[in-house]
């Protein structure tokens, strides 16, 4: 058997079919479209099943906490009558300290039920820790593949902190340097071990997150008497947005505005060796957020169930310095020391709440655990060591990979609104380019309209401008 790159990649679909138990060909309609809802329901677990499985694993039912002091501070710098009430879903209360336990619990249960002896996941850390924690409960072995270093063998403090977490729960961690070999190595490990692929992008993973959106909506209704006006979600690969939005709709919170937030790292090449350690965030940034919106199927499975463009109402960016400031703000004003992933959406919420009415309710949908390598002091010291300037000032002067500006106060917080229409057009252009010379059908146009939350007329107009018949 040819175990080189070309040989292994030629067996990709067969390897993934064996490692996930999913035959993706069953859901294929054309080179462009597939039966999304049928794939989402293919794991044969009802929502009620998922809730029970998570509860048995000690996952979920996390507190919804009102951030009264932060809300008060926001109102002090907002126009009269503005400053929404901010709540946060404290997902750090899960066993491994993040919402990723919801993704892992159902997938690991599924792997155990199917008789796999172990699981493999590619993760910078939080998901790896969640997978390993849940696998330990089920008696399964775990291998975590992690892009950890640049070519100098220098790793970011946050990534190395997550390595320690994975190892603490019993994982065998394979640390790789940044580059294109991660997927190839994953396929080789899956083929040799015959372990389950605990992908972030399979139906069980997304169904687990639906419980988060559902809980969030119900808890808000219980505490406030109505559903949230806005839910703010840190956006990376799209799973967090997809699962949470589906859970909100399941709970009846269909009028809630779903807003994705990413750290603005535009200009940095995420897979570039020279840029790898000049970014101070390992997830929840534009290096994941924008590419996954414009082409979601760039994953470790043939079809990605995490499709954020289907569910987003808005997508905003905030700066690195605003997240660091928010991390300290949460600790100092609310007594909650939490990590950067959830604080990304909280930083966005600070800017957004100032624009909303005082009687409106904004919910930040996650927190994550923190530890030494995740703290602003570690990340900022590392940034300085890699030639990044750190200083106080206005966030607008932030330059990714060159200058991190720590705000002087929340009155300076600003969100950059990304044009979802522009992203939709990029997605449609990519869909046409990736499937040449195939000519799309009416059914394909319907799929594309649903996939980018638009209409068939909109899709036809965009594809016509691209000279697609």
CATH of the domain at 358: 3.40.50.1100
Beta bridge pairs of residue 231: 258, 363
DSSP state of 411: G
Same domain, 366 and 234: yes
pLDDT bucket at 181, cuts 50 / 70 / 90: confident
Which of 34-43, 71-80, 274-283 shows the lowest mean pLDDT across its residues?
274-283
Same domain, 156 and 285: no
Q: How far apart are CA 444 and CA 31, in angstroms?
A: 9
Same domain, 315 and 366: yes
Asked if residue 224 is part of any domain, the answer here is yes
Same domain, 230 and 286: yes
Determine how β-strand 64-66 pairs with β-strand 85-89.
antiparallel
**What is the side-by-side order of every strand in the sheet holding 196-197?**
172-177, 141-149, 118-122, 196-197
- Reply yes or no on whether the pLDDT at 468 is more than 70: no
Mean pLDDT for 332-338 is 98
**pLDDT for the residue 201:** 94
Same domain, 79 and 219: yes
Q: Which of 201, 226, 257 is the last residue of a domain?
A: 201
pLDDT bucket at 34, cuts 50 / 70 / 90: very high
DSSP alpha helix (H) spans, 65-142: 68-76, 100-114, 126-138
- For tokens 């009430």, name the residue: 85
Q: How far apart are CA 289 and CA 142, in angstroms?
A: 27
Asked if residue 277 is part of any domain, the answer here is yes
Q: How far apart are CA 266 and CA 273, in angstroms?
A: 16
- Reply yes or no on whether the pLDDT at 469 is more than 70: no
pTM value surpassing 0.85: yes
Mean pLDDT for 107-117 is 96
Asked if residue 422 is part of any domain, the answer here is no
Q: How far apart are CA 426 and CA 436, in angstroms?
A: 16
- Reply yes or no on whether the pLDDT at 158 is more than 80: yes
Mean pLDDT for 98-110 is 97
- Reply yes or no on whether the pLDDT at 348 is more than 80: yes
Q: Which of 201, 229, 245 is the last residue of a domain?
A: 201
pLDDT bucket at 280, cuts 50 / 70 / 90: confident
For 431, counting Cβ atoms within 10 Å of its Cβ (0-12 exposed, 13-18 middle, 19+ buried), the class is buried
**pLDDT for the residue 78:** 96
Same domain, 285 and 379: yes
Mean pLDDT for 321-327 is 97
Same domain, 230 and 371: yes
Alpha carbon 28 to its chain centroid, in Å, reads 25
CA-based diameter of the chain, in Å? 70
Based on the structure, what is the number of domains in the chain?
Answer: 3
Asked if residue 26 is part of any domain, the answer here is no
Asked if residue 449 is part of any domain, the answer here is yes
Mean pLDDT for 395-419 is 95
Q: Which of 156, 172, 201 is the last residue of a domain?
A: 201
Same domain, 179 and 289: no
**pLDDT for the residue 19:** 95
Same domain, 294 and 308: yes
Closest CA to 69 of 350, 369, 435, 279: 350
For the four alpha carbons of 398, 401, 402 and 403, in that order, the dihedral sign comes to positive
- Reply yes or no on whether the pLDDT at 271 is more than 80: no
Asked if residue 30 is part of any domain, the answer here is no
Per-residue model confidence as pLDDT tens digits over 424-453: 999 999 999 999 999 999 999 999 999 999
pLDDT bucket at 283, cuts 50 / 70 / 90: confident
- Reply yes or no on whether the pLDDT at 180 is more than 90: no
For the four alpha carbons of 416, 419, 424 and 427, in that order, the dihedral sign comes to negative
Same domain, 14 and 67: no
- Using CA atoms of 251, 252, 255, 259 in order, give the dihedral in degrees to the nearest 10: 10
Give me 188's structure tokens. 């080789």
Asked if residue 75 is part of any domain, the answer here is yes
Same domain, 111 and 241: no
Same domain, 308 and 242: yes
**pLDDT for the residue 89:** 98
For residue 261, what are the domain limits?
53-97+204-417
Asked if residue 33 is part of any domain, the answer here is no
Mean pLDDT for 338-349 is 96
């Amino acid at each position: 058997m040819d175990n080189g790159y070309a040989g292994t990649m030629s067996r990709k679909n067969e390897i993934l079919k064996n490692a996930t138990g999913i035959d993706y060909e069953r859901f294929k309609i054309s080179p462009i479209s597939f039966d999304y809802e049928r794939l989402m329901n293919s794991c044969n677990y009802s929502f009620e099943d998922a809730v029970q499985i998570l509860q048995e694993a000690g996952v979920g039912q996390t507190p919804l906490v009102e951030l009264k002091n932060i809300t008060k501070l926001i109102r002090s710098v907002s126009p009269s009558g503005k400053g929404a009430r901010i709540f946060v879903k404290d997902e750090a209360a899960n066993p491994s300290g993040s919402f990723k336990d919801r993704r892992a619990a159902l997938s690991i249960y599924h792997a155990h039920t199917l008789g796999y002896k172990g699981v493999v996941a590619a993760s910078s850390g939080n998901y790896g820790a969640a997978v390993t924690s849940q696998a330990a409960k089920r008696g399964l072995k775990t291998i975590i593949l992690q892009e950890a270093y640049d070519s100098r063998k220098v790793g970011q403090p946050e990534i190395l902190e997550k390595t320690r977490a994975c190892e603490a729960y019993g994982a065998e961690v394979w640390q790789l340097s940044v580059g294109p070999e991660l997927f190839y190595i994953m396929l080789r490990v899956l083929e040799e071990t015959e372990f389950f692929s605990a992908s972030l992008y399979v139906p069980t993973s997304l169904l687990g997150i639906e419980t988060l959106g559902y809980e969030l909506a119900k808890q808000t209704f219980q505490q406030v008497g109505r559903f949230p006006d806005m839910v703010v979600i840190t956006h990376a690969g799209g799973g967090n947005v997809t699962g949470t939005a589906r859970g909100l709709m399941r709970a009846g919170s269909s009028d809630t505005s779903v807003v994705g937030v990413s750290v603005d790292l535009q200009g940095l090449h995420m897979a570039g060796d020279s840029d790898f350690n000049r970014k101070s965030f390992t997830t929840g940034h534009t290096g994941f957020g924008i590419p996954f919106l414009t082409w979601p199927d760039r994953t470790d499975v043939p079809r990605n169930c995490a499709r954020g463009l289907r569910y987003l109402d808005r997508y905003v960016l905030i700066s690195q310095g605003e997240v660091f400031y928010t991390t300290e703000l949460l600790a100092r004003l609310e007594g909650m020391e939490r990590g950067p992933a959830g604080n990304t959406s909280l930083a966005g919420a600070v800017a957004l709440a100032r624009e909303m009415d005082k009687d409106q309710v904004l919910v930040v949908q996650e927190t994550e655990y923190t530890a030494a390598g995740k703290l602003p002091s570690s990340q900022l010291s590392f940034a300085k060591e890699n030639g990044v300037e750190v200083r106080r000032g206005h966030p607008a002067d932030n330059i990714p990979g060159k200058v991190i500006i720590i705000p002087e106060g929340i009155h300076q917080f600003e969100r950059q609104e990304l044009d979802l229409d522009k992203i939709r057009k990029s997605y449609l252009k990519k869909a046409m380019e990736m499937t040449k010379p195939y000519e799309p059908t009416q059914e394909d146009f319907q799929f594309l309209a649903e996939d980018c939350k638009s209409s068939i007329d909109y899709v036809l107009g965009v594809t016509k401008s691209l000279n697609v018949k």
